Structure 1
Amino acid sequence: MYVIIFLQGFVFYGPVATLYRQARGLSMSQIFLIESISWILIIALEVPWGWFSDRFGYKKTLVFVNALFFASKIVFYMSNSFVLFLLERILLSIVLAGLSGCDTALIYSSIKEDEVQSVFGRYSAWGTAGFLFASILSSFIVEISLDYTALFTIFPYALAAILTLFLVEVKVDNREKPKFKESFKQAFSDKTIIIFTISTALIIEVFQAVTVFLNQSQYLKSGIDVKYFGVILAGIQLIRLFSVKSNYLTKKLGSCQAIIILEFLVVLSCIVLIFTSSSVLSVMTIVSISFSVAMIGPIEMDIKNKTIRTSNRATILSIYSMTGSLIASIGNIIIGKSADYSLEMGFIICSMMSVLGLILMIVYYKLTKEKNN
């Protein structure tokens, strides 16, 4: 799984994803509209995929979705219209819904409970390392051709799909088929987890919007040449490798306290991005957002997995992810429309969303503290 996610980090078009789409005829609002449609599809597919994984096996699910992941990269390379880019995103939605919960459930079921944060930290770091190498190489590839960044992405995804065939299946208790209604009840039997899920979903959506779509416009605004985008992204991914050390942060501060501090950093960074046109500040704040979310990831997975005490782990994780996808789909439309009006307005919306996420995390912390006392 480490090798697979490392290869799937090789998205050579990552540093210029927005520019690539715009060069193929998409507007910023169309990009965000496609993203919102994608999230809606993920919402619809999350739980059925989770049920399928729990019922028929995690490996079978991963083999199928990773093959489809490979196919989606071919479609992306061939896309030159709204319809084709939408088709690519539909395929990607099926993939992300299938992967969501399934990959983490397979890993969680293969390790000891006290290894969770360190293993998921390394898992996240391997994906980041792949993206890091791709970002460095992207700076050279984009000098030759923007199209090549999409073309060269196809090959590592083909290898990742092949390697999925060699995964070892874990034993899942299938004596009772998990039912959707029961899974929803189990997922949210602890009401505080709803608050936690919404909080992290808001922060992740802000991270996605800032680091994937708005960052490139911010770099251009601050006078950074396109050829340096790959180098900057490589540096950001290098910082994200610190996610392997998230367990040290939780040991010193506690899980909730650590997330609160990290979410506060996201809030500050978004506010700075509203006003700055400095290249140094722009890069520093985007690095801060990326670092914070990278550190939050393993802690979030640890908290969510520890709330699950039933065999239908992938289904419940998919329900949590579905909740996040719902928030993301709404957030994407609002941020996209705002960014079409002005880049600053896009960052204002991101700031508001991150403030709400921080408030909800503080509420979650107080409620869980009272419950434990």
Structure 2
Amino acid sequence: MRRNIRYMYAIALLQGMVFYGPVATLYREAQGVSIAQITLIESISLALCILLEVPWGVLADKLGYKRTMIGCCLLYFLSKIVFWQADGFGGFLLERVMLSVVIAGMSGVDTSILYLSCGKEDSQQVFGWYNTLQTAGLLIAALTFSLFIGDNYALAGGLTVLSYGAAALCALGLTEVKAPAPFSVRQAMDVLRQTLTNRRLLLFLLSAALLTEAHQTITTFFNQLQYARWGLSSAAIGILYIAAVLLGLSGVWSARLTNKTGPLWGGVLLCSAAVLACTALALSTGAVSSVCAILALRLSNTLFQPFQMELQNRQVVTEHRATALSIHAMVIDGVGVCTNLAFGALAEVDLTCAFWFGGGICLTGLVLFLIWYKLRPRA
């Protein structure tokens, strides 16, 4: 089973190598896609993920996690070829549609492979390394972009295709952690009902969704716009991207932090940091404060993700783990559809409004986390 962990780590590293990452928004804009269209594509992608989550979860439990992972890694590779050749709204929409199929398929499968391949007491540490290696891939790609690629967007897209092709080959080395088993639609609906009637679990998922979506939108799309707003050059933006990626390596310390603070105060600390970071962006009067706020938001989310993954897996009580985690993702993506549309509309009016919205949903996430913790089962 340790072999699975090694292969999953390799896949994480290779799929982290998105060589166009430092200019992801600018790349799309250079191909004729506006910021409103970008957020619209994201919302369509998330909506499609929601529709595919449960069917994919059922299929993964039937096919086995290894086969599902191999198929998704292959389609991921193909989606990067489409992105590389995309020109305009239609091409990038097609890429995101393919990516939606991949995300829905891998949702719960990658973490299930890791969770079932290691001792449960080590899971947060394993998740931390998994996320960190994805970030290490981003760092390698960012350094390569800054030193060798520059404004050659086509080269950045081509190198990304190669790294994702190598990841697909690594998936072939996985071993099965759960034998495929008959699984009916009725059983899937039972798992769906159990999830949607579990008020405490829903509170946790909504909390995680709000925090994750605020981070994703701001640090992936709005950060570059904010940097350009304050006159930073492309070279400076590339350096700041590398700094943000370096902070992403801190996921390995997530378990150490929450072990020291306990789950309550660990969650409060990380959620509060996100609220403060978004507020600082809304009140920003220059490049320095913007940079500090975006890096703080990046750090808080990096430490939060392994913590969230462990708590989420602990709350799965059915043997059909992939299906349950797919339903969790469906709930989270549903929130993302709404937040992406709101972020896009607000950013078109004024980027500051979008940052205030980010602070508001992070604060809501903090409140939901506190309620979730208060409703925990008592010994």
TM-score (norm 2): 0.95
Task: Give a deviation string over 1:103-140, Cα, whole Å, max 9, x none.
Answer: 11111111111111111111111111101111111113
Q: 2:341 aligns with which of 311, 314, 333?
A: 333
Report if aligned partners of 1:125, 1:241 keep a CA contact under 8 Å in 2: yes
Question: What is the distance in 1 between the residues matched to 2:77 and 2:182?
Answer: 34
Q: 2:166 aligns with which of 150, 159, 163?
A: 159
1:56-95 correspondence runs (5 A):
56-95=63-102
Question: What is the distance in 2 between the residues matched to 1:173 and 1:164?
Answer: 17
1:372 aligns with 2:378: yes
Question: What is the distance in 2 between the residues matched to 1:286 and 1:95?
Answer: 28
1:211 aligns with 2:212: no
* Residues 176 and 51 (structure 1), Cα distance of their counterparts in 2 relative to 1, 3 Å cut: closer
Question: What is the distance in 2 between the residues matched to 1:21 and 1:144?
Answer: 13
1:234 aligns with 2:242: yes
Partner in structure 2 of residue 122 of structure 1: 129
Q: Which shows bigger deviation, 241-250 or 195-204?
A: 241-250
Question: What is the distance in 1 between the residues matched to 2:19 and 2:290?
Answer: 22
Question: What is the distance in 1 between the residues matched to 2:370 and 2:175?
Answer: 40
Partner in structure 2 of residue 133 of structure 1: 140
Question: What is the distance in 1 between the residues matched to 2:373 and 2:87?
Answer: 47
Task: Give a deviation string over 1:245-279, Cα, whole Å, max 9, x none.
Answer: 11111111112321121010000000110121422
Question: What is the distance in 1 between the residues matched to 2:36 and 2:120?
Answer: 43
Cα drift, residue 282 of structure 1: 1.4
Question: What is the distance in 2 between the residues matched to 1:206 and 1:299?
Answer: 17
Question: What is the distance in 2 between the residues matched to 1:219 and 1:309?
Answer: 45
TM-score (norm 1): 0.96
> Which stretches of structure 1, 4 residues or more, deviate above 6 A after TM superposition?
none
Report if aligned partners of 1:117, 1:299 keep a CA contact under 8 Å in 2: yes
Partner in structure 2 of residue 265 of structure 1: 273
Residue type of the partner of 2:181?
N
Q: Which shows bigger deviation, 170-179 or 46-55?
A: 170-179
Residue aligned with 1:168, SS:
coil
Residue type of the partner of 1:254?
G
Report if aligned partners of 1:7, 1:127 keep a CA contact under 8 Å in 2: yes
Percent identity of the aligned residues? 38
Q: 1:55 aligns with which of 51, 62, 71?
A: 62
Cα drift, residue 176 of structure 1: 5.5
1:177-196 correspondence runs (5 A):
177=184, 179-188=187-196, 190-196=198-204
Q: Which shows bigger deviation, 235-244 or 153-162?
A: 235-244
Question: What is the distance in 2 between the residues matched to 1:325 and 1:256?
Answer: 25
1:17 aligns with 2:24: yes
Unaligned runs of 5+ in 1: none
Give the RMSD, CA atoms, in angstroms.
1.4
Report if aligned partners of 2:255, 2:307 keep a CA contact under 8 Å in 1: yes
Report if aligned partners of 1:55, 1:177 keep a CA contact under 8 Å in 2: no
Residue type of the partner of 1:57?
G
Report if aligned partners of 1:187, 1:308 keep a CA contact under 8 Å in 2: no
Partner in structure 2 of residue 2 of structure 1: 9
Question: What is the distance in 1 between the residues matched to 2:171 and 2:152?
Answer: 31
Cα drift, residue 229 of structure 1: 2.1
Cα drift, residue 189 of structure 1: 5.4
How many residue pairs get aligned? The number is 371
1:96 aligns with 2:75: no
Cα drift, residue 144 of structure 1: 4.6
Residue type of the partner of 1:326?
G
1:323 aligns with 2:336: no
Q: Which shows bigger deviation, 358-367 or 316-325?
A: 358-367
Partner in structure 2 of residue 293 of structure 1: 301
Question: What is the distance in 2 between the residues matched to 1:169 and 1:306?
Answer: 21
Question: What is the distance in 1 between the residues matched to 2:222 and 2:68?
Answer: 33
Residue aligned with 1:152, SS:
helix
